[in-house]
Amino acid sequence: MEITFLGTSSGVPTRSRNVSSVALRLPQKSEIWLFDCGEGTQHQLLRSDLKSSQIRRIFITHMHGDHIFGLMGLLASTGLAGAKGQVDIYGPPELKDYLNACVRYSHTHFASRVQVHPVQPGVVFENDQFTVTCNPLKHRIPAYGYAVTEKDRPGRFDVEKAKALGIPPGPIYGDLKKGETVTLEDGRQVSGKDLCEPDEPGRKFVYCTDTVFTENAVDLAADADVLIHEATFAHQDAEMAFERLHSTSTMAAQVALAAPVKQLIMTHFSPRYAPGNPIRLNNLLEEAQAIFPNTCLAHDFMVYEIPRHRD
Amino acid sequence: MEITFLGTSSGVPTRSRNVSSVALRLPQKSEIWLFDCGEGTQHQLLRSDLKSSQIRRIFITHMHGDHIFGLMGLLASTGLAGAKGQVDIYGPPELKDYLNACVRYSHTHFASRVQVHPVQPGVVFENDQFTVTCNPLKHRIPAYGYAVTEKDRPGRFDVEKAKALGIPPGPIYGDLKKGETVTLEDGRQVSGKDLCEPDEPGRKFVYCTDTVFTENAVDLAADADVLIHEATFAHQDAEMAFERLHSTSTMAAQVALAAPVKQLIMTHFSPRYAPGNPIRLNNLLEEAQAIFPNTCLAHDFMVYEIPRHRD
Ligand SMILES: [Zn+2]
Ligand SMILES: [Zn+2]
């Protein structure tokens, strides 16, 4: 699971940071899931190592323009991935109406079959490899955080060990691989579990934006490998954070600490922390690290590989 | 009058060309008018020498996404120019409904006062310096070409000559500047016209996209200094041009020749003319120049100053 940040600025693009979008490349698959799609996301994809044609699912946190204004352009430009070129989009209930209105006024024909799924708290998607859940955050308009939980991988079946025990290869290996107990022709009983390495625990990716500090983010991020959390403001600008229902660096760190998570990546920075402002993004980093040391700052095109849980 | 091309690709952005937008900087004013606003126009402005805060008017040719999907983001990001930060937008009747829908779904508060004016063929704007007219083009959906005509500048009043004739400075100079004939105290009659340099003819800028060849473009472009005309396809791809109601290089040149205009700048190129395709953009240029020599190809961030008509 590989994360690529496509936009890390809040509200407006700057020369070095675009508005929100994060790509998640799935393991062993040429499939990408996108989280938010601010204006210019398709342009950022062109400049990245990702192929926008591989986008299979798009998860939208909330309806503010800096999180959705790139969606129409992306969908119009790209024949997207999956069976019959389908893309599934998950987001607040108004998302479907918004896209329908845009399609109608702009006479757009999507290059892919687009299906929009309104989300509710809980499971929003599940297949044999992943479960995606969402939880409401605390913003000026309804906003949802998303958690992608990889299912545990069954441990590798040890063929050599099976052969050494004198078990002849055949359909019986299939049962043993599933961990079942089988009776051999000579009467011996063998448990597949003894022939399999332990399961490899799945990984967990969590994306929380836009929001002020909320226990719902803590719950969603429980035991995550990576938490991407917005940190629009520095700690000393907390008043603005409360007023606009955004987070400070220290709120992001509090969520990471309470969850807890393994790694916090902060993003969605206010463009105010630019030369001329005595506060710099490094100050946000230091503030967060004082609470949760394993914190870093996202930047556009930053790639983060979530490590597997091999023993 | 200075033109800056912000996007010169048709349909989709490429790594080197964004989708449609052209900026026109007005003379002696820190005021910019924008023609079309594809996705990423605000990003292109950040990378140009133009300040998006100076945009005062935006003219939209038609409702296809590659001409309008940057509008919401631009309006949301920028406190625009003019009295009380107002921006006036001109375009097809559906434009207002589209923007209203986007504003509603995305909970956007514009940084400026935005007024949308549906256009009809004829004059769409006029002040003491400029007249803007539009004419319907021939595209899959209603599309309008725009002409900006600068009014003639009154010739400079020759104060030295007036003094040499023994005309005493005073309110009389005002009448003479307007070209009126006045009677001096000593009975002499003096015509202001003899004391003024000849009027400087205004310039004319014309923007025609998206369209297949149409006489309406020829009419609109009559005697223009600069015609910006789409040339999505090469001459040998004319079948696609007729099918999709776009222009070939040779159609653009025919319009320039028939109008006639002083300079043709072609834009809105299909991304197909890239390495791998035996046809290159230089072929489109040669095809057009065979018909209308004074032709060039636009590229992103190209700046073209329309020369003044000083004698
Ligand atoms: Zn927001
Ligand atoms: Zn079009």
pLDDT tens digits along A108-133: 988 778 999 999 999 999 999 999 99
Residue A80 has what pLDDT? 55
Tell me, what's the pLDDT at A73? 95
Distances (CA, A) of A95 to A9, A72, A146, B69: 22, 11, 16, 16
In chain A, where are the structural domains located? 2-153+200-305, 159-195
Q: What is the pLDDT of residue A79?
A: 64
Q: What is the pLDDT of residue B290?
A: 98
Among candidates A40, A66, A102 on the partner chain, residue whose Cβ is nearest the Cβ of B40: A40
Question: Which residues in chain A have Cβ-Cβ distances shorter than 8 Å to B102?
Answer: 65, 98, 101-102
pLDDT(B87) > 80: yes
Higher per-residue pLDDT: B172 or B257? B257
| B186 Cβ neighbours under 8 A, 6+ residues apart | none
CB within 8 A of A143, min separation 6: which ones?
A61, A62, A92, A136, A137, A209, A210, A211
Q: Is A62 annotated as a binding residue?
A: yes
What is the assigned CATH class of domain B2-153+200-305? Answer: alpha beta
Taking contacts as CB-CB distances below 8 angstroms, the residues of chain B near A141 are 107
From the CA of B270, which ligand is nearest?
A: 2
A19-29 burial code (b ≥16 CB/10 A, e <16)? bbbbbbbbeee
Mean pLDDT of B112-128: 95
Q: How far is A201 from chain B (nearest CA, A)?
A: 39
Rounded to an integer, the average pLDDT of B42-57 is 94
**In chain A, what is the greatest distance between 2 CA atoms, to the nearest angstrom?**
81
Residue B66 designated active-site? yes
Answer yes or no: do B65 and A108 touch at CB < 8 A: yes
Return d(Cα B62, Cα B19) in angstroms, integer.
13
Question: Residue B190 and residue B183: Cα distance in Å, rounded?
Answer: 6
- CA A223 centroid distance within chain: 14
Query: What chain A residue is nearest to B64 in terms of C-alpha separation?
Result: A106
Cβ contacts of A42 on chain B, cutoff 8 Å: 12-13, 39
Determine contact, residues A268/A230, Cβ cutoff 8 Å: yes
Nearest CA of chain A to the CA of B52: how many Å? 13
CB contact under 8 A, B107 and A77: no
Q: How confident is the model at residue B311 (pLDDT cuts 50, 70, 90)?
A: low
Closest-approaching ligand to the CA atom of B230: 2
pLDDT higher than 90, residue A210: yes
Q: How do strand B2-7 and strand B303-305 relate by DSSP bridges?
A: antiparallel
Task: With H, G, I as helix, E, B as strand and everything else as coil, classify residue A235.
Answer: helix
Query: Is the N-terminal amide bond of B260 cis, ω within 30° of 0?
Result: yes
Residues of B in CB contact (< 8 Å) with A are 11-15, 18-19, 39-40, 42-43, 46-47, 63-66, 68-70, 72-73, 76-77, 94, 97-98, 101-102, 105-108, 140-141
For residue A115, give Cα distances in angstroms to A54, A61, A101, A129, B264: 16, 17, 15, 21, 44
3-state DSSP assignment of residue B232: coil
Exposed, middle or buried by CB within 10 Å (0-12, 13-18, 19+), for A57?
buried
The pLDDT tens digits for B167-226 are: 888 888 888 888 888 888 888 888 888 888 888 999 999 999 999 999 999 999 999 999
pLDDT value at position A57? Answer: 96
Name residues whose C-beta falls within 8 Å of residue B174's C-beta, 6 or more positions apart in sequence: none
The 10s digit of each residue's pLDDT in A254-294 is: 999 999 999 999 999 999 998 899 999 999 999 999 999 99
Query: What are the pLDDT digits (tens) for B67-79?
Result: 999 999 999 988 6
Pairing of strands B2-7, B21-25: antiparallel
Nearest-by-Cβ selection for A77 from B12, B76, B141: B12
CA distance A83 to B160: 81
Matching residue, tokens 């307007």: B178
Beta bridge partners of B305: B2
Give the pLDDT confidence of B142-170 residue by residue, as tens digits: 999 999 999 998 888 888 888 888 888 88
Q: What number is the average pLDDT over the span A198-208?
A: 94
pLDDT tens per residue, range A139-166: 999 999 999 999 998 888 888 888 888 8
Strand partners, B239: none
Q: Is the pLDDT of residue B303 over 90?
A: yes
If one compares B236 and B174, the residue with the highest pLDDT of the two is B236
* Substitution target from B102, B103, B108, B109 for chain A, most A beta carbons within 10 A: B102
ipTM: 0.90
Closest CB to B101 among A12, A101, A141: A101
